Structure 1
């Protein structure tokens, strides 16, 4: 006897809510029926998936392994359905896209209307988070594909490079930190402001701009590009801004100025999805659309 699709979906819901009442409500069944279904699943698999107490739900180690595989099973079924659907019309049905915060506000506004215009039967869901988080969600089957900045080590993925996104030096007009020319090697100590650890943009800026002198990095950091630029406006330091963000973040702010860097300092934007996905052709179409929007 094999687990049913409903049982697997209930187990995934329990993992997401860690509460029988909330999980059963999300599945639109009674808590008693939900509990019975989880217990029956444990019986079928002959393993304890959940430790139950009066106050909390704890997923066992075996339960976590089963949940991870259950997500893949559900996604494979959805892919099966989407393959059948795509034979009739490409890019129709549900698609979940993960995007990092240093891309989403700048690339998605022109992308979404164009995607929906070309593929009106597509249901597009977006999730914004750091690269490591959406990569794990992609591996777990929670996302269909992700839009990220490269390089980033991603196992089990097909990666489609899209285009280069150059870095620009952003500073306050007549900043005390730079002279007439832009010489990164001569920047003073504590002059460079970056995002906090965990944001890939920090690592990409350090690598692409060849920043090797740790004394130049300010001990303060920001959680977003908007906050980072406010610190620059206050002349607390300079920073490196992706070119795709300059229109949205700088606008008519006369207090700021941007300088091209002397070398080709850039990050690369790319799409990634699980290797062997039956929807690779559809994902490639989205990548090609992104390339056209960037060129135009």
Structure 2
């Protein structure tokens, strides 16, 4: 019978399509990983890996077995989590994903509040692209994450937490800064800064630009909300920034100005996400409720 380690090696090879990177990901040498995968093929009496080309590919059977192996490894991890956390309430180390358009201004207070309430809980926080992190949740590499909605995937729980307004910001000396009730057509042709196209934030900015007749400045993609705010302040273009981010930046008014646009009601919604059937689902729900309550009090 295949061992769990062999299944883990096959899944790693499917993820990375490279023997060296797969070995690094599972903390073994490349010869060890290669030998164990050959042993797995011998035990199953089947070819799982196509080694004929320059790029490593799994055979059709190999892909099917890798998909089932993922499910097995997640279930084994659930058993370990269930045993480790039994009777301990919310405790242990939680692998927590967060988008960089949310974490820097929300997580400090959340972490402090959760630590006071649940001192045995440890958060291993990883920033990343929401779409990528949803896949990590599905395969058990992340326990829980916060992400902008909508989240479109099967096998996960999506718990809406809060929504927040999105403001259009401009440099303080912009011709529209300080005006009241700016008509939306006044923004036609304006250039907006955003993050790279992998981010939900980019897609939402693109959609709003389409509604306004504005456009995205692709040559000036930011790497964070801070970088976008600073580029706006320097006069490169306009941008959308979330209200809680703006509230957390004590010097925002000195760098950028919020435009008062007539009838403006753009918002984004944030949800907690975890895998359906996870052993710690009750704990994830409690954490989601804590975040929802904190944001409600902060509003």
1 CA distance for matches of 2:12 and 2:71? Answer: 14
More displaced 10-residue stretch of structure 1: 71-80 or 241-250:
241-250
Q: CA shift at 1:211, angstroms? A: 5.0
More displaced 10-residue stretch of structure 1: 160-169 or 76-85:
76-85
Aligned to 1:277: 278
Number of residue pairs aligned between Structure 1 and Structure 2: 293
Any conservation in 1 of the 2:99–2:127 contact (CA below 8 Å)?
yes
Any conservation in 1 of the 2:18–2:56 contact (CA below 8 Å)?
yes
Any conservation in 1 of the 2:148–2:200 contact (CA below 8 Å)?
yes
Matches within 5 A, 1:3-82: 3-15=2-14, 20=19, 33-52=32-51, 57-82=56-81
Aligned to 2:215: 217
Matched, 1:121 2:123: no
Change (3 A) 1:42 1:124: farther
More displaced 10-residue stretch of structure 1: 170-179 or 50-59:
50-59
* Structure 1 alignment gaps of length 5 or more: none
1 CA distance for matches of 2:157 and 2:23? Answer: 36
Q: CA shift at 1:231, angstroms? A: 2.7
1 CA distance for matches of 2:92 and 2:135? Answer: 23
* Structure 2 alignment gaps of length 5 or more: none
TM-score normalised by the chain length of structure 2:
0.82
2 CA distance for matches of 1:211 and 1:179? Answer: 24
Aligned to 2:231: 231
Aligned to 2:267: 266
Aligned to 1:158: 157
- List structure 1 runs of 4+ shifted beyond 6 angstroms: 53-56
Any conservation in 1 of the 2:129–2:199 contact (CA below 8 Å)?
yes
Any conservation in 1 of the 2:246–2:252 contact (CA below 8 Å)?
no
Any conservation in 2 of the 1:165–1:266 contact (CA below 8 Å)?
yes
TM-align CA RMSD: 3.1
Q: CA shift at 1:281, angstroms? A: 0.9
Matched, 1:168 2:167: yes
Q: CA shift at 1:56, angstroms? A: 6.3
Any conservation in 2 of the 1:178–1:187 contact (CA below 8 Å)?
no
Aligned to 2:147: 148
Q: CA shift at 1:241, angstroms? A: 0.5
Aligned to 2:257: 257
The structure that is strand-richer by fraction is: 1
Q: CA shift at 1:282, angstroms? A: 1.0
Any conservation in 1 of the 2:230–2:255 contact (CA below 8 Å)?
no
Any conservation in 2 of the 1:85–1:92 contact (CA below 8 Å)?
no
